[in-house]
Amino acid sequence: MPRPPHAIGIDRRELLQVGYAGAFGLGLLGTPTATALARPAGGGAVNAKSAKSVILVFLTGAASHIDTFDPKPDAPAEIRGDFKPIATAVPGFQVTEVLPLLAARARKYAVVRSLSHKDNNHLVACHKLQTGHTQPGAAFDKVASRDDWPCYAAALDALRPRTDGLPTGVHLPWHLQQPPLMWPGQHAGFLGPKHDPWQLNQDPNSKQFRVENVAPAAGISVEQFADRRLLLDGLQESQRKLEAVAEARKLTDQQGQAFKLLASGKVSTAFDLHREPDATRDRYGRHEFGQSLLLARRLVQAGVPVVQANMGKAQNWDSHDDIFNRLKKDLMPPLDKAVSALLDDLSGLGMLDDTLVVMVGEFGRTPKVAPQTPGAKPGRDHWAPCFFGLFAGAGVRGGQVIGKSDKIGAFPTTVPFSPDDVGATIYTALASTRKAKSATASAGR
């Protein structure tokens, strides 16, 4: 019997054989399309490396490129907005005043100002950026489906399944959903639930933060779980027929993985943020963004190859109204502090060369500022034709500005990069991922 093709016309087994980077096109690292990222305007080349791990910092809801990494100080007031540009550590490279810490670290990362695609809808665009490909059957608000393309962690898990008890991917701190809308691109899609990444749904900065599915219950030692496993196996003997159902299979697979995690203790130790010095936790910031990125670093340090840190719940950055107050007071200060601390830590621990950090949202915001609802303060609407991405580590030469947008930030004036290129970049970096070992010392130091 012939194998059924995927809905977009690619045979699933053939897809895995040919490799995701080839299927998705050319990326920003180590490929002809990488010329801009690999070579600054003045010449020279970067020695692009493969990565042991990837941290995707996802700005859910889409941050404004004009108000962050692509300021337009010479544009009219209704374009340039409220923020002034400031100099960075790299001559000629400016960001806005809401990013003072990242401005000081501009030599550690490259910014792409010419990302572009055609979908101004959150759900469809999120699928693009979290998978590197267009959602099959995409339409306005097409919710998550098992026909979707897999997220990066799921694809890696299918290509290189692990046997050491560590998950291939962890998404944190929140699952992206606005009931009844489940945002696509967060799970394994057509590869099946077996390859779904582990998902948190709680704030790591909370005093009640505890990951129940990777930490032993109070009063139970790790050794006791062997006996519990035998008991569970006995109880499940009568339920074998249910395993034909995909979700039932998912529970079985994840229960098995949970026991491996508990027995090894590696990931449960990584989740214990109290093991970090107070000074380190303070550097990241005692808030959701900061502790999420600290947790991401600890998971990578423990050997998890793909961590996606959603900076806020669904549409957190969706600033249709009151954009300048929201960015200045609620969003940019914690992000600036947290990402700066992450880059400092990865560099200081000798992990930055082996870790690709990507910060991106699903699109940008409209060039023109205007209130979107009657009586509201000005904001910016969705804008997919032009937005930014930040890339660091794994051979990316820092201190670069890649691509250019027009004088109002509406469209790229250089060759645009697509979400497919972002996806290919991530897969290219992960191409030689081996069974993970701690990049330096154990996360439980």
Residue 215 pLDDT exceeds 80: no
Q: Are 32 and 165 contained in the same domain?
A: yes
Q: Are 363 and 229 contained in the same domain?
A: no
Give 29's pLDDT tier (boundaries 50, 70, 90). Answer: very low
Q: From CA 285, how far away is CA 334, in angstroms rounded? A: 7
Q: Are 149 and 250 contained in the same domain?
A: no
pLDDT digits (tens, 9 = 90+) for 225-273: 455 555 555 555 545 544 455 555 555 566 666 666 555 567 778 999 9
pLDDT digits (tens, 9 = 90+) for 353-380: 999 999 999 999 999 998 777 888 999 9
Residue 185: name the closest of 136, 138, 148 by CA: 148
pLDDT digits (tens, 9 = 90+) for 290-307: 999 999 999 999 999 999
For residue 130, is it within any domain?
yes
**Neighbouring C-beta atoms of residue 230, cutoff 10 Å:** 10
Give 284's pLDDT tier (boundaries 50, 70, 90). Answer: very high
> Which residue range is the domain that position 297 belongs to?
20-209+274-429
Q: From CA 433, how far away is CA 334, in angstroms rounded? A: 31
Q: Are 232 and 149 contained in the same domain?
A: no
Phi and psi of 104, rounded to 5°? -70, -15
- The C-alpha R_g of the chain, in whole angstroms, comes to 22
399 three-class SS: coil
More confident residue, 437 or 318: 318
Q: Are 385 and 239 contained in the same domain?
A: no
Cα-to-chain-centroid distance, residue 284:
18
Q: Are 116 and 158 contained in the same domain?
A: yes
Give 387's pLDDT tier (boundaries 50, 70, 90). Answer: very high
Contact, 305 vs 54, CB < 8 A? Answer: yes
Q: Are 81 and 157 contained in the same domain?
A: yes
Q: Are 298 and 353 contained in the same domain?
A: yes
Prediction pTM value: 0.82
Q: Are 158 and 49 contained in the same domain?
A: yes
Average pLDDT of 52-57? Answer: 96
Structure tokens that stand for 97 in this block: 């005043």
pLDDT score at 231: 53
Q: From CA 112, how far away is CA 397, in angstroms rounded? A: 12
Residue 384: name the closest of 120, 31, 60 by CA: 120
Strand (E) or helix (H) holding 246: helix 246-264
DSSP secondary structure, 84-98, as one string? PEEE-SSTT-EEETT
Q: Are 217 and 281 contained in the same domain?
A: no
Q: Are 81 and 188 contained in the same domain?
A: yes
